Structure 1
Amino acid sequence: MRVVSWNLWWRFGPWRERQKAILEVLREQRPDLVGLQEVWAAGGENLAEWLAAELGLHWTWAPSPAPERWRRRIADPSVDIGNAVLSRWPIEETEILRLPVPPDLDDGRLGLYARTGPVSFFTAHLTSAPNACEVRRQQAAALAEFADREGPVVLTGDFNAGPGFPELLELRRCFRDAWEEAAPSTPGETWDWDPRLPYRQGPRQTERIDFVHLAGPVTARHAHRAGDRPVEGVWPSDHAAVVADLVC
């Protein structure tokens, strides 16, 4: 079972060109399950729906309940943002967790659950505020409780914190890091990993902040990055994707 976790950088930058590049990366990877963050929807279009149709997958998505801060960044009040799951199997059940956050930082971060195929599958997007370590700790703790299910559990997402960061302690108590399990000696940075990346802002802060986490009877056999180079001259996202091959 191949799993991908990827932050798609919403509608920033050359988003139409990036949309095609994202599709090509996913088509090449041939995933069974995909956890996506920063997925846009506008004017009757939904990026997750389009990707699912092109790839022959099932899909579900959870829109942010507080997208106003995002919309102001692109000066477009019509665009929604959320998390999505794409799946080789029908999606039998879904549930949404609004992650805890103080009002001054609230931009509608979520955890999305989908029961599909052989696993309980989750994707989440923790706050990115630079000095919000305690907020991320609370969000990670809430997510660990939300994802406490029987059987194989796969938790994907952009956690905006590296593997050794203290805010992810609650998750590390409950989950294993698929990258550490399958590719511990391989460079796995997913944020600001390449000096050629045109979407960088400010000084470089290279880090692995995107994860595939595992709990229960599921094992990672292989892990690698994807979307970490241009596709016909277009960089797909400001994040690289994490790809993990799992066995239940």
Structure 2
Amino acid sequence: MTWNVWGRFGDRWLRRQRAIAETVRGQRPDFVALQETWSSDAEAQTGLLGFELGMTPVFAPSRMPRDPDPGVQLGLGILSRFPLVDVEQHTLSTGTVALRAEIRLGTDSLHFITSCLDWEEDHQQQRFEQATSLAALVSELKAGGDDVIVAGDLNTPPGGPELEPLLAVLDDCWQPQLYDGVTYSSRNPYLGNGEWLEDHRIDYILTNHLTVSGSRLAGLDEDHGRPPSDHYAVVADVPVA
């Protein structure tokens, strides 16, 4: 599962956080990638979710929109139902960060990675460079015979050239169904008017050597009929053990 959870933005972030927890609980994922998740000196959203959901949490600060509270930092998070063998923060091109968690499955390892590429419309070259850097990390891990999942907010619609480096080494888990899987939708009341990425699928789960048995969106209306974030979540059924 991957979800950009929109930090503490909006005037109902505490209620949104409750709905985020309930949405994740309802999907029962083994792994969750979070973008724009928040952390302060007192507590972190990943820790709160991990405690409530019985999952191991990790957090890494990253280049994100700034929270109005200077004591709050936004970044990347991973939640896992499996014990983590290793956790590492990788700096990609132009300073963007990827967070990697290694999970031991029998005699093999699975590397679960999350990142959030630049969102600005005129940063196409930066996104391409970031994706290229991330693809190089994936290739290095694959060379050791391990499986890799990249889950995150790539801020690029399907078919965008920025995705080409990653799609050269991984497969997109999304299975086209009766809808196109838009994760940044103009039907979401939290979107601003005229967002350049609106009505596109910009959140992805990418894998190698794994069979996908289904994919779907979540986080559509769990907050009293409203979405808990400005992004919808993506969930993929990928057997990993």
Aligned 8 A contact 1:59 1:91 in 2:
no
Mapped contact 2:2–2:203 kept (Cα < 8 A)? yes
Runs of 5+ unmatched residues, structure 2: none
Q: After TM superposition, which residue ranges in structure 1, 4 or more long, deviate above 6 angstroms? A: none
Which amino acid is the alignment partner of residue 237 of structure 2?
A: D
Picking from 9, 29, 53, the partner of 2:6 is 9
Is 2:76 aligned against 1:79?
A: no
| 1:120 matches 2:107 | no
Contact kept? 2:220, 2:226, Cα under 8 Å:
no
Normalising by structure 1, we get a TM-score of 0.87
- Name the residue aligned to 1:70: 66
- Tell me, in whole angstroms, the C-alpha distance in 1 between the residues paired with 2:34 and 2:239: 21
For 1:20 and 1:158, the matched residues in 2 are separated by 22
Give the structure 2 partner of residue 157 of structure 1. Answer: 152
> What residue is the counterpart of 2:34 in the other structure?
36
Matched, 1:96 2:83: no
| Deviation, structure 1 residue 43 | 3.6
Number of aligned pairs?
Answer: 229
Alpha-carbon distance between aligned partners in 2 of 1:201 and 1:32, rounded to the nearest angstrom: 32
Q: Which residue of 2 aligns with 1:60?
A: 58
Q: Distance in 2 between matches of 1:184 and 1:115?
A: 31
- Provide the rounded CA distance (Å) in 1 between the counterparts of 2:25 and 2:173: 22
Task: Give, in angstroms, the shift of residue 230 of structure 1.
Answer: 3.8
Q: TM-score normalized by structure 2?
A: 0.90
1:187 and 1:25 mapped to 2: Cα distance? 21
Give 2:37's aligned amino acid.
V
Corresponding residue to 2:163 among 164, 168, 190: 168
Structure 2 counterpart of 1:5, which letter?
A: T
- Asked if residue 147 in structure 1 is aligned to residue 138 in structure 2, the reply is yes
Identify unmatched segments of 5+ residues in structure 1. 102-107
Please tell me the residue identity of whatever aligns with 1:127: D
Correspondent of 2:233 among 213, 217, 241: 241
Percent identity over the alignment is: 36
CA contact (8 A) 2:32 2:79 kept: yes
Aligned equivalents of 2:166, 2:148: Cα separation in 1: 13
Distance 1:201 1:237 in 2: 13
1:184 deviates by 5.2
Q: Note the aligned Cα RMSD (angstroms).
A: 1.6
2:219 and 2:40 mapped to 1: Cα distance?
24
